[in-house]
A and B are shown apart, each in its own frame.
Chain A
């Protein structure tokens, strides 16, 4: 359906151009005829028309204009007048020149147009795969992290439970074995510490993700990440609005980490609106100057908002309201923002969406 429409559109486009070419030739013929311009000059003037038309149309229409131009030249300008026939050198040279030029230019242009289209398509594909990659990487990191946490913590936990049961058994009965019970209790302490160590290590790992802070145009940073989420938004029927203040000073930050935070907030926004049908799904991101030395980034969705109970926990690790979420996104986002000296907070009104905002310090 789209293809026929496109072809039809192309046909009319060519027809209009060929007609304009024809009219230009007629006008030129009329003017030159009135002023008795010599045939060679007319032949060159016609060439201009042929070149201009060939630039815009395909092979056949270009050849058509070339033939019409030759017929005009032969009929009105080369003697004997008002007859068609091969009487002069120009009668041979003109049609050959016209056709060769029409063919060469229209072919060249179609090649140029095709390579431009290819390039555009390649860029689109690249952008799409980048977005997918970013998503996959996010999910993968979370998944790997979850698996390793589960395993590393599960071992000491089951040891603690076993030791606890053993300790109780050693103490029970008529002849409790205090020494065995003590040993079991000592192992409980040891394994509890081991579990805590694992947690500390994971915290360190989350923080470690090599923050490299440099002066940063936060608006540009946002624009870059918007291209990644655009498709996700379109597919979910979400209007993406950008309202980036122009008087924003550069901030000090790690580009990749901040993009991770922004992407996370935007993705959450998109996901929060999947069930919204009775009003427009609107996701906006804006930047504002805040205090003399801070910049504010605001992400607002028109989802169903966050209830009071969840509100207290949404920044906790492993807390999630999504069926497929890990509950790490906001926890990591908050730790990144805090690592930048800023604050990540949320305002919500039930039924009218949620607004997440964070501050960053300007670069001085």
Chain B
């Protein structure tokens, strides 16, 4: 079954900031996927 909720991609090189944003976005009921750099995002989506 497909998850209907929107997906948020987070890109930040700082681990603390990344983790905190993941948690904050999840608490808002959205799906989240975090990356340390833009290059990793494109690697993930292909």
Contact = CB atoms under 8 A, between A and B. Distances in A.
Interface string A145-165: 000000000011011111101
B17 A166 contact: no
A187 B16 CA distance: 8
B2 interface: no
B24 A166 contact: yes
A180 B26 contact: yes
Interface in B14-40: 14, 16-17, 19-21, 23-24, 26-28
Contact of B17 (A155, A165, A170, A183): A155
Contacts of B26: 166, 180
Interface in A162-196: 162-163, 165-166, 169-170, 177, 180, 183-184, 187, 190-191, 194
Contacts of A190: 16
Residue of A156, A158, A166, A169 ringed by the most chain B CB atoms within 10 A:
A166
Contacts of A183: 23
Interface secondary structure of A, over-half rule: helix
B19 A159 contact: yes
B18 to A, nearest CB: 9
A169 B16 contact: no
B14 A155 contact: yes
Contacts of A187: 16, 19-20, 23
Contacts of A156: 16
Chain A residues touching B, range = 20 to 34
Contact of B27 (A158, A159, A166): A166
A167 to B, nearest CB: 8
B16 A166 contact: no
Interface secondary structure of B, over-half rule: helix
A151 to B, nearest CB: 10
A178 B23 CA distance: 13
Contacts of A184: 20, 23
A177 B26 CA distance: 11
A159 B16 contact: yes
A161 B44 CA distance: 28
Contacts of A191: 16, 20
A162 B21 contact: yes
Contacts of A170: 23, 27
Contact of A165 (B14, B19, B24): B24
Contacts of A155: 14, 16-17
Residue of B16, B21, B26 ringed by the most chain A CB atoms within 10 A:
B16
B17 A169 contact: no
Contacts of A166: 20, 23-24, 26-27
A155 B19 CA distance: 12
Interface of B: 14, 16-17, 19-21, 23-24, 26-28
9 contacts: A155-B16, A162-B20, A166-B23, A166-B24, A180-B23, A184-B20, A187-B16, A187-B19, A194-B16
The 4 lowest CB-CB distance pairs between A and B, nearest first, are A162-B20, A169-B27, A159-B16, A166-B24
